[in-house]
Structure 1
């Protein structure tokens, strides 16, 4: 049996609380800077997409200024919301599978939170960044826009996130193998211990995975922004980059002909013959 006096228990509780807030601050900071990069990426794609004076508001200089001034509070708030509420939501969803009174009470309590979480998805974030609307209004506008276009199934069928996940794991494995081979050749003596060998490969894998996540995060933001820009104003791309509009139209005609026809774009953008 362990015998702890009151002061020792107090020290344990204090350490747990301090550790919790340290982890929370680390997660909050990581999510905030990730959302800032996401914000700047969305604006960069918006500048590339929209013509003339409309593109000036999305310039990289203005987007960085907005990210660290007028939009910084919203980015921090959204990041904190994700850091605090999403784990709670996951645990609540797991508990709700148990049919008891306690789960029903939790479901009722977290219903407003669940509704609020829907405002902070990636698509709403992009729509809000492009249009300047608040998260609740942007969530409703985005849903109405894609329902009007009939593209909700297209979003669900989008496998690019899964592809990026597989790519990130592959980058991590390749990084671990290449680093391990180089270190084995250069400093063979350090890798004779099995623990050192495993630890080195694991650290190399994490570094490669982190680099892959950073790159694919930017690419994923760009792809989703193109989706929303194409739903908002495809004619703008005809002014700025007509060749890319032809490629997009051809791809839509090929892979989603029904959805493209129902959206009304099939008549505007005839399938390219070349």
Structure 2
């Protein structure tokens, strides 16, 4: 399939880009040659589309390590052993008094035994469905979401909550109308969704990276919470009041920062694998591409991930603090302000996810990647928003509906709502992880295609033709980018 010569294990995506440039020049294609002329340099002085090697944003890396180190080091000076023993004793007393909420041991074991295989089957069927019928999945998910909104509106009217009922009814009716007006975008999003589902099946190790990062994060979170509790107790009974509270706040901040770092590492790892696949093709993928991408994420790109995660944490904290101060006395005004704050936080996180793709694809610093995202928004921002709206609605509806269907089916079969609930919970966790990887793959392919469509033409000509045929705006965008100077 691919006309690219096989490549060996490499430390960045640079080899694939250079090979694609060679192939395009051999084809006498002017677009790639013009886009990568020596005179076309980006903000860091490197040729456009060529990634930079070396460590980036090291100050953010050291700041993150310092914050985590402060929490760990301060915890070693506190009686953490007493906190652990007291916590375990409290959990034991709670279980002795209330048990498992009336859940029988047999129901628990049966639910776990059925839920684990159900989770694997649901995840695999979801990927197969998205690969085989992506357009149908997009349309059905939109109408299903609209139906849920209309039913919720009916419930609100029944309970005499008129403003909520009207809002939900309007949203429920707008979704099918919106789908009608963007129907020309469905085919493009369906191609990306099917390709992402296929790629995630070909590289299942992408699912293990989030799980591998989650385990140490959970351990660190438990340690930080114990440090926080011990610091608060210690601050109440000695003179080091401010010292203990400062370290307590540091432990809280480090938890959220570490959580965003875990998400960022997963996203950068996935985007790096997708970029390698995009330029090299399936037949020429190097050995262990996931591990190679993960190594770059935790070394040269780790500072950029820490920088982006720090900004996400600060924006989230700012929104939370502002939310505490909303007390105008008018519920409508308070709700509107809270909605605007949530939209701002979501918009920042949305742009940050694209910046992570640029970090993985080019190996540049975070600010340079953010400037490239801004240029991407200027050129094809509407295409990205429409694509994400269609894809994310589909994935979110599947994340909720499939576990519910599995839980209801098991509950009817076993005549036990408890077993059905256990199966539903065990199904939704891995399914969320799988579909979040699919979402990251879709965005990564979109960015690669928006910046270097010739790379896909060299590695997957059929997919390139399908995407160009279903997205009518990309031809003009790429022609314009040839004359644009980098940000």
The TM-score normalised by the length of structure 1 is 0.64
Query: 2:384 maps to which residue?
Result: 155
The structure-2 alpha-carbon separation of the partners of 1:93 and 1:224, relative to structure 1 and needing over 3 Å to count, comes to: farther
Cα distance in 2 for residues equivalent to 1:137 and 1:176: 46
Query: 1:231 maps to which residue?
Result: 450
| Mapping of residues 143-182 of structure 1, within 5 Å | 143-147=374-378, 149=379, 151-158=380-387, 159=389, 160-181=391-412
Whether the aligned pair in 1 keeps the contact of 2:450 and 2:478 (CA below 8 Å) is no
Unaligned runs of 5+ in 1: 1-6, 99-112, 192-196, 267-274
The TM-score normalised by the length of structure 2 is 0.39
Cα distance in 2 for residues equivalent to 1:83 and 1:119: 14
- Cα deviation for residue 213 of structure 1 reads 1.7
Whether the aligned pair in 1 keeps the contact of 2:269 and 2:360 (CA below 8 Å) is no
The structure-2 alpha-carbon separation of the partners of 1:22 and 1:145, relative to structure 1 and needing over 3 Å to count, comes to: closer
| Aligned Cα root-mean-square deviation (Å) | 4.1
Query: 1:250 maps to which residue?
Result: 469
3-state DSSP class of the match of 1:263? helix
Question: Which of 412, 434, 441 in structure 2 is aligned with 1:215?
Answer: 434
Query: How many corresponding residue pairs?
Result: 223
3-state DSSP class of the match of 2:364? coil
- Cα deviation for residue 205 of structure 1 reads 3.5
Cα distance in 1 for residues equivalent to 2:423 and 2:255: 22
Query: 1:67 maps to which residue?
Result: 297
Q: Cα deviations across residues 1-53 of structure 1 (Å, max 9, x unaligned)?
A: xxxxxx89937x9999998777655544443333222111101111111149x
Question: Which of 366, 370, 393 in structure 2 is aligned with 1:139?
Answer: 370
Unaligned runs of 5+ in 2: 1-232, 329-343, 481-487
The structure-2 alpha-carbon separation of the partners of 1:26 and 1:169, relative to structure 1 and needing over 3 Å to count, comes to: farther
Q: Cα deviations across residues 212-248 of structure 1 (Å, max 9, x unaligned)?
A: 2211111111111111111111111111111111111
- Cα deviation for residue 139 of structure 1 reads 1.4
The structure-2 alpha-carbon separation of the partners of 1:230 and 1:87, relative to structure 1 and needing over 3 Å to count, comes to: same
Whether the aligned pair in 1 keeps the contact of 2:235 and 2:245 (CA below 8 Å) is no
| Mapping of residues 261-272 of structure 1, within 5 Å | 261-264=475-478
The structure-2 alpha-carbon separation of the partners of 1:94 and 1:27, relative to structure 1 and needing over 3 Å to count, comes to: closer
Whether the aligned pair in 2 keeps the contact of 1:180 and 1:201 (CA below 8 Å) is yes
Cα distance in 1 for residues equivalent to 2:319 and 2:325: 10
- Cα deviation for residue 146 of structure 1 reads 4.0
Whether the aligned pair in 1 keeps the contact of 2:456 and 2:464 (CA below 8 Å) is yes
Tell which has more relative contact order, 1 or 2 (C-alpha 8 A, sep 6+).
2
Whether the aligned pair in 1 keeps the contact of 2:268 and 2:297 (CA below 8 Å) is yes
